[in-house]
Amino acid sequence: MSKTSIGISGMAVYVPPFRVDLQTWCDWSGADRNKVRDVVGSGFRLPGPRQGVYTMAANAILKLVERYDVDTSQVRFLGLGTESSTDNSAGAIIVKGMVDDALRQQGKAPISRNCEVPEFKHACLGGVYAIKNALRFLQTDGQNAKAIVVCSDIALYEQGSSGEPTQGSGAVAILLEADPAIATIDLRHAGNASDYRVVDFRKPIQYTNGDGRTYACTNIPVFNGRYSASCYVDELLAALDDMYGRRNLDGNCYMRELSAVFMHRPFKRMPENGWGMAWLFSLEGEEHADELRGYAAAAGVDFDALRGEIQNRPQLSEFGVQERIAENAFPLVSKVLRSFRNDPAYNEIIRDKMRLGCSTMVELGNLYTGALPAWFAAGLEQAANESLQLAGKEILLFGYGSGDAAEAMPVVLVPGWEQAAARIDMAGAMAGAIELSEEQYRLLHAGSTADLDYQPRDEFIVERVGAASGAQFQDKGIEYYRFVD
C-alpha cells in the first residue's frame, strides 16, 4: 500500500433554486410551527420540471472542475452515490457524458476516456461507499490519478406523512487525490457496521400482491419513523465500537476531545439525538458511573436499569414487525437524553461539536447521499470564515444508510486547508432561491409542470425525453440533456 497521504482537495455544491419555506408549509399543512422549526429545519429545495438527479450531479461536478482548476485528463475515477437513479442500467457515465459535452462546449478538455464510472447505492450511505472506493482506487491502480465522487439525490415523501417536511434535493461533488489540500483520510482508522432491518426504509421497484399481477412503485419510500430512528442510533453505536476497537480508543475520551463531528442528517434533530445517545452509551464503564448516575437521577430513571439497557443492546430487527414497530428500542436512554438536553454539559459535548454549518443545513432538508458531504462542506466554509485553527485536528464523518449500514470515517485537516475550503462557496450555491407557492409545490411534488419564473443559466437541463419504441430505433424514457451557457 502506498504511504502517500490521500484525501479531499475540493468540494462543490449544487441545489435547485425552488424553495419551500417550512413555516409557510406549516400554514398549508396545519403542522406545529415550533416543532417543525426545532426538530426539522427552516426550508428545503425541490428540482424543477427540467431538472433531475443527473443534471444536479453534473452541475456540481462542473462547479468543482472550474473552482479548483481540475486537470480533467487526470480524472480516472468518477463515482456516483445516489438512491434516486432514474436509469437502472447507467448512472455515472450519464453524468460524465454531460460534463464532457459542457467542457468541450467551453473549449476545454473532457474527463479522461480511461475513467471508471461506477454507481454506488445503499440508501444514504452510497456516497460514503463511493468515497471509500475512490480512496482505494487512488491507493492501488489509480496512483498519480485524481478521483471525483458526486452525491446526488431527491428526497420526496408522501404529502401528509411525517417525512414530508424533511424533503430536499441537491448534489455535492468531491475531489480526491494524493497530497490533498483539505483533509487526509486513512481507512485503516475507520469503523463500519451493517445489519439487515427489513422495514426500516425501503423503495421497492415493483411487487406482486398475491394476485399474479405486478405493481410498480414510485421513488417515494416506505418507512417507519420511530423504528428508523432506533436503527440510526444502533448502527452509529456499532460503527463507533468498531472504530474504537481498531484504534484502541476510549470512546468517552474520544468524544470529549474530538474537534467536530458531521453526521448523516435526515433532519435537524436526528444527528443531535444520535450523538447524544452515543455519549450516554460511552458512560457505560465504572469510571464514568457517577456521571451517568447523575444524569439518571435528573431524569428520574433507575440507574441500574439504565445501565442494564446500555450494556445489553437489543437486536433491532426484533422491533421490525408490525406488533412492535412503534416501540422505542432504548426507552430509558431516550428519557435520560431528554433530560440531559437541559444540562450545561449538553452544549459542550453535543451541540458545540456539530455547530459548524448548521445554519446552512437547516435550509437544505434531507439530501440523502448528499446530506453528510453538504454538511461537511458548509462546516469547512464556516470554520475557514471564522479562522479556526484546525490544521492537524481530527474530525469525524459519520455516514449512515437505512437498511442498515454505517461508516465512522475520521479525517485530519491539513495545513492550508482554509484556502481550499474558501472555494466551496456554499453561499453561492444557496443564492437565488425562488419561493414556491402552495400550488407550485403541489405540482412539482406530483411531477407536473408548474408555472415558474426561472431561466436556467450555466447549468444542465433535461431538454427532452425520448418516446420512440420502433423496431429500427428505440429511446423511450431516455433523457436528453443540454448545457445552457
Give yes or no for a cis peptide into 404 (omega within 30° of 0): yes
Q: Write out pLDDT tens, residues 224-243.
A: 989 999 999 999 999 999 99
4 has pLDDT over 90: no
CA distances from 40 to 167, 226, 365 (A): 10, 15, 8
191-206+215-360+398-412: CATH, from 3.40.47, 3.30.200, 3.30.1370, 1.10.287: 3.40.47
Average pLDDT in the 7-21 region? 98
Q: Please, where in the chain does CATH 3.40.47.10 lie? A: 6-188+426-484
Average pLDDT in the 44-53 region? 95
pLDDT band at 1 (very low <50, low <70, confident <90, very high): very low
Closest of 223, 346, 226 to residue 275, by C-alpha: 346
Average pLDDT in the 420-448 region? 95
51 has pLDDT over 70: yes
What's the pLDDT score for residue 447? 86
C-alpha cell at 429: 450555491
Q: Please answer whether residues 139 and 185 qualify as being in contact, where contact means their C-beta atoms are separated by less than 8 angstroms.
A: no
In the numeric block, the cell 428540482 is attached to 47
What's the pLDDT score for residue 293? 97
What's the pLDDT score for residue 208? 67
What's the pLDDT score for residue 220? 85
What's the pLDDT score for residue 87? 92
Q: Write out pLDDT tens, residues 380-406.
A: 999 999 999 999 999 999 999 999 999
Q: How far apart are CA 398 and CA 372, in angstroms?
A: 8
Q: Please answer whether residues 83 and 369 qualify as being in contact, where contact means their C-beta atoms are separated by less than 8 angstroms.
A: yes
CATH T-level assignment (fold) for domain 6-188+426-484: Peroxisomal Thiolase; Chain A, domain 1 (3.40.47)
Length of the chain as a residue count: 485
Average pLDDT in the 183-196 region? 97
379 has pLDDT over 70: yes
Mean pLDDT of all residues in the chain?
A: 95
User: Between 100 and 320, whose confidence is greater?
Assistant: 100
Average pLDDT in the 287-297 region? 96
Side-chain half-sphere CA neighbours of 341 within 13 A: 11
217 has pLDDT over 80: no
- Cβ neighbours around 92 below 10 Å, total: 26
2 has pLDDT over 60: no
